[in-house]
Amino acid sequence: MPLTAAFVANPLAFATTRPIGVDERDIAGVKPAAGVGQNQVLGSVNYIFDWSMVPFGGTEALLTIHRDTVVGRQRAYFLPWEANAAITMDVGGAANYFFTSTLTGCSVRAQAKPNGMVTLTHANAKAAYGAVFTPSSTKTGVDLDELQQADRMATAAAIGNMNAMMPPVGGGLSRTVTKRDYAAKVTDGHLRTARRRINPGNGERVKTLNAAITSGKPEVSAFVYGIRNVANNTWSFWLQSTVQVTGQLERGVLHKKTRLIYGQSVVLGAPVQFYP
């Protein structure tokens, strides 16, 4: 079954096994420029696009957002990101899916509105993070505990900065996902499950598999998607947590040969419904 059809048929099952990346290059010319520290509200009617999924990097799926409309293709609200800013839009009944740019440290908030719509905000604060997790944090001789403490402090600073940029929380239901949520999914149990899902072929088997670590922290990312229940016009929003991995593949019995696992991500457990 083509990947687009497989996701539509069962989004939860699909996103439990396949890491999903986002390719939004085709709409680069219509992405907003919010300005540092600002929140920009988009007219969602201008951010409904065609989308499709294709295989990428073995077990991964690449969600492509298309500028042009083609009859028969799926449609979705798409919320782009902007560095050091927040981007907001309302979603309603004009499309059945919602996607946003890949999260590598960003936060996403879903906020109920009285009219039945949901306000989504994607916020980024890489400058606030970098001001704390500075190059001096990674100087030669810094141990793992120091790096992890620097990351925790930088993450807290970034989350505070992003919360300040987001629209005020109203009286309705509000849920936010942050880097803390998807980084917490890097567990031995989830990595063991992911290891069993890798099927390299050519008689190979997984010899070792670990989360890729840079400057003391795992290379986590996340994919947020929304599904509209057409019957009652309500939305649910989900968080898929992923991590880049390193390791070795092995084949042979007497004369074993190995090769490195490179540039591959794995899903960290089943996606979590964070709203409602």
The per-residue pLDDT for range 106-162, each reduced to its tens digit, is 999 999 998 889 999 999 999 999 999 976 666 666 688 888 899 999 999 999 999
Give the contacts of 257 (CB within 8 A, at least 6 positions apart).
250, 251
Please tell me the predicted confidence (pLDDT) of residue 141.
67
Residue 44 CB burial class (10 angstroms; 0-12, 13-18, ≥19): buried
Q: Taking residues 4-22, report their average pLDDT.
A: 97
Query: Which single residue is written with the structure tokens 């509209």?
Result: 228
Domain span holding position 120: 3-186+223-241+270-275
pLDDT of residue 115: 84
Q: Is 191 helix (H, G, I), strand (E, B) or coil?
A: helix
Cβ 217 vs Cβ 151: under 8 Å: yes
- In a domain, residue 171? The reply is yes
pLDDT at site 125: 98
Comparing 188 with 251, the larger pLDDT belongs to 188
User: What is the pLDDT confidence band of residue 53, given thresholds at 50, 70 and 90?
Assistant: very high
Question: CA–CA separation, 219 vs 170, rounded Å?
Answer: 34
Mean pLDDT of 213-223: 94
Model pLDDT, residue 143: 81
Q: Is residue 205 part of a domain?
A: no
Point out the least confidently predicted range of 99-108, 138-147, 267-276. 138-147
Taking residues 220-248, what's their average pLDDT? 96
Asked whether residue 34 is domain-assigned, the answer is: yes
Is residue 154 situated within a structural domain? yes
In a domain, 214, yes or no: no
State the Cα–Cα distance between residues 243 and 245, nearest whole angstrom: 6
pLDDT value of residue 140:
64
Confidence band for 94, pLDDT divided at 50, 70 and 90: very high
CA distance 104 to 81: 11
User: Is 191 a member of any domain?
Assistant: no
Give residue-wise pLDDT tens across range 62-78: 999 999 999 999 999 99
- On the question of pLDDT at 251 being above 70, the answer is yes
Report whether pLDDT(254) > 80. Answer: no
Is the link from the previous residue into 276 a cis peptide, with omega within 30 of 0? yes
Q: How many CA atoms lie within 13 A of 226 on its CB side?
A: 34
Domain assignment of residue 212, yes or no: no
Distance of CA 55 to the CA centre of its chain: 17
Residues 171-179, mean pLDDT to the nearest whole number = 94
Average pLDDT along the chain: 93
Is 113 within 8 Å of 120 (Cβ atoms)? no
Mean pLDDT over 162-168 rounds to 95
Number of structural domains in the chain = 1
